[in-house]
Structure 1
Amino acid sequence: MPFECPQDVANDYESLLTNTNIVDYDVIIYAGNNNREIYAHSFVLRTRSQYFRTEFSNGSFNRENGNFIFNLPNITPQLFNMILRFIYCGKIDLDQLLAGSDILNLLIAVNEINIQRLIDYIQEYLIKNKDDYVQQNSIEILEKIHQNNAFIVLQNICIKKICEDPQRLLNSSNFNSLSTSLLALLFNRDDLPLDEIVIWDNLIRWCRAQHSSIPQDPTQWNNDNITNMERTIHRFIPLIRFCHISPENFATRVFPFREILPNNLVNNMIQFNMTKNQQFNNDRRPPRCYIDSVIIDRNHIAVFANWIYRKDNSIYQKSLLQMTMKFFKSSKNNYLTFNACSKKKKY
């Protein structure tokens, strides 16, 4: 019968890391802005870390007094020591990091070093053990991680929390400074349950914040103002579902900004609002709606709405969609709950 002592091996490697008198180090890593020296052994880094193996192969280091020199200014010494311990002996203790922000920074640092197993573990730990931090800082977390697919699990959790309470987004002190890519990601969501005119108003607020010198009154804009605002808002125009903005709101809150909108869009929406003829509406997306169910999704809701209201087209008034949602929702036990209405629609 084979006999293994993996724990003894791990302990020996940990001793090698913590006691440099046993075997002389040949790697110096300068971590953080203060360039604190951290010592390591090249044979361990080559063997245990794909990141360092690649760095050694590419010659991405300096040599000084026979030592390999690496610079990691984006990772604090505390966090890198935790990563290095994991590289040496496969151990890490996240409980020593009390703040959720420290764990998030560790996650980003681990991604830089490209340790996928640790990325998955830290995401799971952060979600399960620092839920309050994720809940309160979901927007700030997304700003840091939304463009990296390695953090997709944490991204989805943050997006879910924002969609559950979209005022968290609009009331954020960081709203006006959000990146274009993050705002586009959120405003493109089907499950962001905000009135379309509210999304439009806040999009204009964000665009104005990017050009603080432009007058608030669009009738006072000169050609340069119009050009700058048009370039800023251009990416977001396809994300706005103008067909779900009431004619009154379109006339008073969208039309004043017609100079930065495509002419065909403005003309089509004017004709659509006047006639309700679907030939003037190229946008067949339903209203946004957050569905907290493990049984049904937006496609089911569309079908149910057609059945109930005997509609053939795919455009629904928001009130109908919300009314349909009262019928179907998932309970905590993942069973479908049916809520009967006191009044029945007569046909």
Structure 2
Amino acid sequence: MTTKFYDRLSNDLTQLLENPIDNNVKIEVGEEPTSQIFEVHSYILQSRSLYFKKKFNESPFNENHVKELKMPNISTKVFNMIIKYIYGGTVSLENLEISNNFDLLIASHELELDELVEHLQNHLVANNSSWLRLNFSHVCQTSFRKNFEIIQKFCNDIIVKHPDTVFESENFNSLPEDVLISIIRLDDLQLEEDKIWDYVIQWGKAKNPTLPADFNEWTSDNFLTFKTTLKHCLPHIRYFNIPSEQVVEKLYPYYQLFEPRLLLDINTKLLVSEKPISSTILPPRNILNAMLPSNLITDEHALEISSWIDRKEILYTENNPYGSKNGFDIKTIFENCDKVSKTVIVAKVKGTREIIGGYNPLEIRNNVSAWYYSKDSFVFSLKTKNLNNSILSRVTNYTAAIYYDSSNPCLKFGNALNFYANLKTGRKCFCGTDYYEEKIRSSSDKFKVEEFEVLKVSPAQKN
């Protein structure tokens, strides 16, 4: 029987780090003037990290028989955690900001600390999924590195169900080619093939800003340049699953991108569908037959509101105790949600694409007529196709944060967001500026509500 005294070993090696006797390496970490020098031992670092083994083989000793390295791209806070892991085999993530956890993952990958890379991925997915979603574009691009399978699976699970998180993001056109290819190869991607084609074309044009803006002015050389840009993407489009009318409308204008055999087979399949062809036919994507329930807000909207609620990056889940299916009268909100606290009211303004709402941390009160105090309530207007950025407006007059009146039915967030009577038939709702930081609608006109939801906020369950 072998007895293992790992705790004592870890403690002794950590003490060696704190009192670096016989150190022969100096590593300058971070950027000046806040950089820090770490005095360490080459034999420990190279035995724990292939990265350092390679670096020490490349780096000569100076006249004092010390190797000197610079690592400006890693913060001192992150490197301090890494060096403690290397010496003592311990890492503590509880009090670390989530963004630093992710930085630690990136640095651990660079230093080829595979054990730590796997642990950090599992920790982030299990405990910080909301932060990963809120920073999805950056996380997604990072996930396609070697040994990031856990984060990559997390991202792929989101992409296949909610492809807009990538394809409609501001950073889509800057996606690296390998990331885009990895996405369009997904069998479960819930997106019609002709839409995938549209996005690939959009991405390719963004990579060639010098191409004529007017497609009709493209020359053969322009098409050749464009084809070169897309040569690794084009084989992953499932051409034979595109409806015939979309083939004519979307593929034919770009016929110069296709190899002659593929173009012939596309035409053959279109005209004589039963005739055999020689091109590879990729299987259709596994599009779900059952549509997901439609909500006023997207997952990304919910996460954005969640971060506002907690003033951090903590995910909350929402259950919908009440919505427009129950009627549009404010009085029924009081009756259905009496004594329910921590709610988000979301409304779609009739005749527009605007989605506005407010967070109320207090209990909703029925049979009262009074103002209530809150430091945490806020109103908002969410980013949509006609609004470039979401607007957040927090309460400034705490004593007039929330107003309930069930006798003359109204629910008010100060004067910033006012819901009155029947939201659908009565044009009485309006947005002002009093008691909150800023106005969430450019118009002061009164409006009707087309749809609305009252969402209960509750802490998310850990995966």
Same fold (TM over 0.5): yes
CA contact (8 A) 2:125 2:151 kept: yes
1:43: how far off?
4.3
1:234: how far off?
1.7
Deviation per CA, 1:256-308, whole angstroms, max 9, x where unpaired?
111222233223222321222241473433321257xxxxxxxxxxxxxxxxx
1:245 aligns to what?
Answer: 242
Instruction: Kindly provide the amino acid, as one letter, of the partner of residue 87 in structure 2.
Output: Y
- Helix, strand or coil: the match of 1:279? coil
1:204: how far off?
0.8
- Helix, strand or coil: the match of 2:37? strand
- Helix, strand or coil: the match of 1:147? coil
Instruction: Kindly provide the amino acid, as one letter, of the partner of residue 118 in structure 2.
Output: D
1:133 aligns to what?
Answer: 131
1:254 aligns to what?
Answer: 251
1:85 aligns to what?
Answer: 84
Runs of at least 5 residues in structure 2 that lack an aligned partner in the other structure: 291-463
- Helix, strand or coil: the match of 1:71? strand
1:69 aligns to what?
Answer: 68
- Among 184, 197, 200, the alignment partner of 1:203 is 200
Instruction: Kindly provide the amino acid, as one letter, of the partner of residue 119 in structure 2.
Output: Y
Instruction: Kindly provide the amino acid, as one letter, of the partner of residue 220 in structure 1.
Output: E
**1:1-347 alignment to 2 at 5 Å?**
5-20=5-20, 23=21, 25-34=23-32, 35-56=35-56, 58-63=57-62, 65-99=64-98, 101-148=99-146, 150-280=147-277, 282-289=279-286, 322=289
CA distance in 2, matches of 1:29, 1:132: 35
1:339 aligns to what?
Answer: none
Compare the two structures and name the one with the higher helix fraction. 1
CA contact (8 A) 2:191 2:287 kept: no
CA distance in 1, matches of 2:47, 2:265: 63
Deviation per CA, 1:82-109, whole angstroms, max 9, x where unpaired?
110111111111223212x322221121
Residues 48 and 272 (structure 1), Cα distance of their counterparts in 2 relative to 1, 3 Å cut? closer
CA contact (8 A) 2:27 2:70 kept: yes
Runs of at least 5 residues in structure 1 that lack an aligned partner in the other structure: 292-321, 324-347
Instruction: Kindly provide the amino acid, as one letter, of the partner of residue 45 in structure 2.
Output: L
- Helix, strand or coil: the match of 2:281? coil
Compare the two structures and name the one with the higher strand fraction. 2
Residues 277 and 87 (structure 1), Cα distance of their counterparts in 2 relative to 1, 3 Å cut? same
Q: TM-score, normalised by structure 2?
A: 0.57
Instruction: Kindly provide the amino acid, as one letter, of the partner of residue 66 in structure 1.
Output: H
CA distance in 1, matches of 2:258, 2:220: 14
Superposition CA RMSD, Å: 2.4
- Helix, strand or coil: the match of 2:231? helix
CA contact (8 A) 1:241 1:283 kept: no
Deviation per CA, 1:52-82, whole angstroms, max 9, x where unpaired?
34544x2434425332212223322211111
CA distance in 2, matches of 1:222, 1:3: 75
1:44: how far off?
3.3
Residues 234 and 26 (structure 1), Cα distance of their counterparts in 2 relative to 1, 3 Å cut? closer
Residues 234 and 30 (structure 1), Cα distance of their counterparts in 2 relative to 1, 3 Å cut? same
Residues 281 and 168 (structure 1), Cα distance of their counterparts in 2 relative to 1, 3 Å cut? farther
- Helix, strand or coil: the match of 1:63? coil
CA distance in 2, matches of 1:41, 1:9: 16
1:50: how far off?
4.6
Aligned length: 288
- Helix, strand or coil: the match of 1:96? coil
Instruction: Kindly provide the amino acid, as one letter, of the partner of residue 9 in structure 1.
Output: L
CA distance in 2, matches of 1:261, 1:175: 24
CA contact (8 A) 2:181 2:233 kept: yes
Q: TM-score, normalised by structure 1?
A: 0.75
Instruction: Kindly provide the amino acid, as one letter, of the partner of residue 36 in structure 1.
Output: Q
Residues 106 and 61 (structure 1), Cα distance of their counterparts in 2 relative to 1, 3 Å cut? farther
CA contact (8 A) 1:218 1:256 kept: no
Instruction: Kindly provide the amino acid, as one letter, of the partner of residue 121 in structure 1.
Output: H
1:195: how far off?
0.4
- Helix, strand or coil: the match of 1:95? coil
Instruction: Kindly provide the amino acid, as one letter, of the partner of residue 10 in structure 1.
Output: S
Deviation per CA, 1:113-166, whole angstroms, max 9, x where unpaired?
222221111111111111112223344223123131x11122112111111211
Deviation per CA, 1:194-223, whole angstroms, max 9, x where unpaired?
100000111111111111121243321023
CA distance in 2, matches of 1:237, 1:3: 58
CA distance in 2, matches of 1:250, 1:2: 69
CA contact (8 A) 1:243 1:269 kept: yes
Structure exhibiting the larger radius of gyration computed from Cα positions:
2
CA distance in 2, matches of 1:237, 1:80: 42
CA distance in 1, matches of 2:4, 2:82: 25
1:317 aligns to what?
Answer: none
> Percent identity over the alignment?
29
CA distance in 2, matches of 1:28, 1:64: 13
Instruction: Kindly provide the amino acid, as one letter, of the partner of residue 169 in structure 1.
Output: V
